Structure formats: structure tokens, C-alpha cells
Amino acid sequence: MQEKENILRILNETKEALKNKNSFRLKELSNQTVHTSSIDQDKDNIAIAVLIYSLSKIIERKEFQSPKEGKKLYNYLLDQVSLCIEALRKNEDEKLRKLMEAFRTHLEKVLGGLKPYIQDVFRKAQINKASKIYEHGISMEQTAKLLGITLFDLASYAGQKPEISNAPWGQTLSVKQRVKLAEDMFR
Amino acid sequence: MKPSLSIKPSTDERVIIFDSSSIINFTLNGLLTEFRELKRIFKGKFIIPLEVKEEIIDKPMQIKRFELEALKIKELIEENILELPTSMGIDESKISAKTKELMNLANNTFSGRQSPIHIIDSGETACLVLSTILSERGIKNIICVDERTIRMLGEKPENLLDILKNRLHTQTITPKKENYKFFEGFKFIRSTELIFVAYSRGLVKLKNGIVLDALLYALKFNGCSISDEEINEIKKLNKA
């Protein structure tokens, strides 16, 4: 695990955000890990970004709003985040990976009827994080590989982000010149 | 590794090399009829390296969500609309070996605080290698790629450096500028330029005053890195 101190801080703040049921803050925290992920491309960092983003979506569900069930679910999430922090502090990378996997499987189990929804949330979180990394200048193929998604998943999502297509750096040749290149090939 | 610019095309042969991003875009937009029409009027070959085939056919074929798209692309190969480098007598293993070499250079061109940043992968790099091999044989070629990183590395690596610095909110990205020369001289187009050619030559069946606009935006929204401003410029070229 690279950038350990930074990730520890982010996980501690994730706990606070969960206590405050603050999904917006969770999204912000997830994005913070992306900066380092783009450089280091550490798969554990990326998994944490995906997990935190997924949590931000999942806690918005009505199941988390009910006083009794919701409290139980929140307590589970808080306990798991605490265990992740502990594993990270002790440099127990393998344990950390298992704990992160357990989030998903546990949520799929206790929210039985929502299994497809949870799977979808995690998949979309992967695509969202991938588009962020692509935004940072890493190629589409490399990004898709890092996140374990396909280029088909990434292409349509990334295409809808003006931060990518409208960024001033993207234009590296005039339109006229590029069209001419294409037309010349067809002469 | 860069294509030998001093070598003038010695044959009438010409090739458009496709990266995964542009083929995926044509497929997701249901524009394979137009793609076939483009091939019909093209006096040359549409080629994909094996590494790209893996990304757009072999892998998605294993995923139910994209199985249909993979099948449609596979059909393009079966019809010889898309061909592999072996169809030109180019040894795949030679491409693979050179791809590793060039990828290693690309992925050691920008460094973060502690380590080099892995910016590109094998599919897009194989397109560059294939372009170099074709240029060495005097075959006119161009790379069609919709994603922006490889294009920026080839055409304006300083822009890629700016993105890395700006998006990462850090000035601690160190470029190895001596590597830039390995990526110079490649020619790139995008799916948007190809669809412009198709449109201006009457290959698009759909007839409506706003069809070009719709086509360009459809390609943009499925991953072609093109700005609104560039789209407006392309539309003006059509009126000119």
C-alpha cells in the first residue's frame, strides 16, 4: 500500500462522514484518492476509492434511513472501516483486501433483494473512478485495465465528461489539418 | 521507433490503423454500415494490431454486457473489412516485441514523486509500432484513435505534461524530454474526421440537415476526444 498516511487520513475521515451520513463528503474523499492513484496506480488505493464512492451511493438508499435497520447497517460499515484502518496501520495488506471484499459481499447478503443494485453501484463506481483517472492524463486502455473494466464501459462514460473532451490541452492539431489528413487518405 | 519521415511512400498501398477506442465508438453508435462504406471507397486496408483485437473482441466476448458488440466487430474481421497485420506479411511477434520496448519508453517519460507514471498500454502502443513498420516499408498510413493520451504524446507531449500537472495539482511531475522524439511524426485522425469524410461523400444514408451535428456529437459522447468548438469548426468546413 502506497501513500499509507494519506489513505489512513482518508479512511478516518470516511468514518466521520459515515457517522454524519454525509454522502457528499464521501464522494469528495473518494476523489481525493484518485490524485494519488493516477500517479502510483496502486490497486489497493484504487479499490479504496471505488469502495468509498460506492458507500456514498449506498447510504442514500431508504434502507439506511430506517431507525432500526439503518443503525445496524451504519454500525457494520463503521466497524468495517475501523478494521480497515487497523489493518492498514499494521501493514496487513492481504487482510485489508479481504475486508474490502467483505463490504460488498456482506451488503449483498443483508440487503438480499438489492444484490443487483449493489453490484451495479460497485460497477458504476469503478467506471466513475476510471473516468477520473483518464481525466488525469492516463490512457483509456491503461485506465480500463487498472480498474478491471472494459473499454466499452469507459468509452461512453468518459465521452460525456466535458472536463475531458473540452479541456484546452486536448486540441493538438487544427481541425482543418486533421480533416485534411483524413481526406488525403481517401484520395 | 518513430516513423521514418524521410521515407517517401514508395507504393500506392495505404493503411488506416485503428485503435480500440475508435472501433468501439463506431460500434456503440451503430455506425458500422458507414464504416463498411468507408472501407468500400478506401484504396487500401483497415488494420488492427492483435493487441487491439484482444481489447475489442476477445475480452468483451467473455462479458455478456458487450458480447453483441464483440460479435459485430468479429464480423468485420470475417468480412475482411478489418484485417490483422499478418495480412500484410507483418510478423505479430515482431510487433509485440517492439510494443514492449516502446511502451517501456512511454511509461518512463513522466515521473511522479517517486516513480514513473504508467500512461499507456499495449493496444495503443502497438498501433504506433505498426505505423513505424509500415512507414519503413514506404506504405502511407495513419492512426485512427479517439482517446487523447496517445495522440497528445505524439503531437504535443507538453500538453500531456500540463494535464498531469494541472489535474494532479502538483508541479512535481518530471518529464524525460529526450523520450519525446520516439513519439514524433505519427499522424492521427479520429472517428469524427472519418465520419466527416463519409458524410461529405454521401455515404451516410440518413438525410437531414442536422445529421452531421448528430453524428459528431454521438461520437463525442461515446469517447471521441473532441471539443464542442472543434465540432463547430468541422461543421463549418462542410459549408465551405
Length of chain B: 240
Cβ within 8 Å, pair A152-B234:
no
| Predicted confidence band of residue A167 (pLDDT cuts 50, 70, 90) | confident
The pLDDT assigned to B8 comes to 58
Largest CA distance in chain B: 55
Quick check: A36 pLDDT over 80? no
% of chain B surpassing 90 pLDDT: 82
Of A32-36, B88-92, B195-199, B218-222, the range with the lowest mean pLDDT is A32-36
Quick check: A32 pLDDT over 90? no
Place of cell 488525403: A184
Residues 76-105 of B with CB under 8 A from A: none
Q: Characterise B223 by phi-psi region: left (phi > 0), alpha (psi -120 to 50), beta (else).
A: left
The pLDDT assigned to B9 comes to 58
Place of cell 472519418: B194
In this complex, is the C-beta atom of B193 within 8 Å of any C-beta atom belonging to chain A?
yes
Q: At what angle do helices A140-147 and A115-135 cross, to 10 degrees?
A: 140
In this complex, is the C-beta atom of B216 within 8 Å of any C-beta atom belonging to chain A?
no
ipTM of the complex: 0.92
Per residue in A126-150, pLDDT (tens digit) is 999 898 888 888 899 999 988 889 9
In this complex, is the C-beta atom of A39 within 8 Å of any C-beta atom belonging to chain B?
yes
Largest CA distance in chain A: 71
Of B16-30, B107-121, B209-223, the range with the lowest mean pLDDT is B107-121
Rounded-to-integer distance, Cα B178 and Cα B175, Å: 9
% of chain A surpassing 90 pLDDT: 45
Contact (Cβ atoms closer than 8 angstroms) between residue A45 and residue A38: no
Rounded-to-integer distance, Cα B147 and Cα B64, Å: 24
Alpha-helix residue ranges (DSSP H) falling in chain A: 4-19, 23-40, 43-58, 67-89, 93-110, 115-135, 140-147, 151-159, 162-165, 175-185
Candidates B61, B167, B180, B220, partner chain A, best to mutate (most A CBs within 10 A): B167
Question: To the nearest whole number, what is the mean pLDDT of chain A?
Answer: 88
Rounded-to-integer distance, Cα B223 and Cα B88, Å: 29
Rounded-to-integer distance, Cα A29 and Cα B48, Å: 40
| Predicted confidence band of residue B240 (pLDDT cuts 50, 70, 90) | low
Candidates A6, A39, A129, A180, partner chain B, best to mutate (most B CBs within 10 A): A39
Sign (positive or negative) of CA dihedral A168, A173, A176, A178: negative
